[in-house]
Amino acid sequence: MQFNAAQIASLINGKIEGDDTVSISSFGKIETAIKGQLAFLANPKYEEHLHLTNASIIIINDSQEIKQKPEATLIRVPDAYSAIATILTLYQKLRTEQMNGIQQPVFIATTSKMGQSVFIGAFTYVGENVIIGDNVKIFPQVFLGDNVSVDDNTIIYPGVKIYHDCIIGKNVTIHAGSVIGGDGFGFAPQQDGTFKKIPQIGNVIIEDDVEIGANATIDRATLGSTLIKSGAKLDNLIQVAHNVEVGNNTVIAAQAGISGSTKIGNNVMIGGQAGVVGHLQIADGSKINAQSGVSKSMKIPNTTVTGSPAYDYTSALRSQALNRNLPDMEKRIVELEQLIQQLLAEKISH
């Protein structure tokens, strides 16, 4: 697929500086892009790459000041990072829209229903009473259990397993290897020291515009639903336990774990390898730093915590500063003690 500068500018409301007929057929990083590729520059400190790159078209910020005009055609926009996201989204959509039909071999239950322009890859299993919406793309080796619903424009990458009764919304992306709706970790201790399994008969509901990274696991509820709300973005290798709720537009980085029945608010940011214990409330706009261990509810919106156990971010920085100064403080205390001893000795001698 080829696009010229004029076409690209029209998609992102950009202003062209240079040849508007120059075309690109692929994308590249500004450091390594070659002729015929589109690149972008969002950080002003990398201006030197404008003059070193071989990219044919570069998207840059309106605010970017240029000392010398580069050879490439420039497209100026208010936010280059957002503009390239728009372009790449459209490009990916064009590629996936070309995928249609059902590859063989597959198993599709006769009670299942499919919309228009659906793609189903080889070795996929579609169970009883599954509903698949329009323009859904299901890559090879996907498992859809009985009564699963997958709404319009959703993409499910290879090897994803979605257990029975789970509901997937519109415009959802689930990356390879993720498991949606496995049993929650529910076991009742017995007097003899064994554990009795508690059946997990709920489901998982993933609302619209959610993205789930590779090899993530979202457990089904014991009763009711584990809920991932609209716009949430989950990275790779994340564990979401039974009956958890993840709020709208919340982002969770890789290797984080959320224990059962915790309710996470809207627009929360959780860093990589953070852990949140069960039955907590995390208020809207909260920020949890990487590798933090949250053991208490965060009830005040827009607060930030760090550490394990996690506590207020600003207080943590003060504590870190004090820790760095401890050797010097110890030296000063020893000197003061010596001075006091000397003064006492002089007083006694007099």
What is the distance, to the nearest Å, from the Cα of residue 193 to the centroid of all Cα atoms in its chain? 39
**Residue 24 near residue 11, CB atoms below 8 Å:** no
Q: How far apart, in whole angstroms, are the C-alpha atoms of residue 145 and residue 295?
A: 35
Pairwise CA distance, residues 199 & 271, whole Å: 32
The yes-or-no answer on residue 175 being catalytic is no
d(CA 78, CA 269): 25
Q: In Å, how far are 284, 307, 326, 332 from 322, measured between CA atoms?
A: 31, 16, 6, 14
Is 51 within 8 Å of 31 (Cβ atoms)? Answer: no
Q: Which helix (H) or strand (E) holds 24?
A: strand 23-24
Q: DSSP character for 298?
A: B
Short-list 171, 164, 158, 247, CA closest to 209: 171
Tokens of 19: 């040849």
Closest C-alpha to 236, from 219, 212, 258, 210: 212
Annotated active-site residue in 49, 164, 242, 350: 242
- Positions marked active-site: 242
